[in-house]
Amino acid sequence: MEQKLMAFGHIQCKIAWKSFETVSRCIKVFRETGSVTRKKGSGRPLKRTDETINAVEEIMENELRTSIRRLAQQMDLS
């Protein structure tokens, strides 16, 4: 029983520390930039481009029996 309580306390401590890190990071970003919003263009780049959308639409119109999995493989989206 004591081990379970210690483990639970450890988990709470880890969660509290993560929250502290998050708040600290937000404060730091706010002090540096005056805002906490993400910079434009930050994050993972999109694969969804006009060219990709048009290519997918064309394949779907011409190959009605193509599965989504096969389509993703053809377009190198998986």
Handedness of CA 68, 69, 74, 76 (dihedral sign): positive
Decide if 41 contacts 30 (C-beta within 8 A): no
Handedness of CA 38, 41, 42, 44 (dihedral sign): positive
pLDDT in tens, 45-56: 888 889 989 999
Regarding pTM above 0.85, the answer is no
φ, ψ for residue 49, nearest 5 deg = -115, 165
pLDDT in tens, 20-43: 888 888 889 889 988 878 777 778
Decide if 58 contacts 64 (C-beta within 8 A): no
Decide if 23 contacts 38 (C-beta within 8 A): no
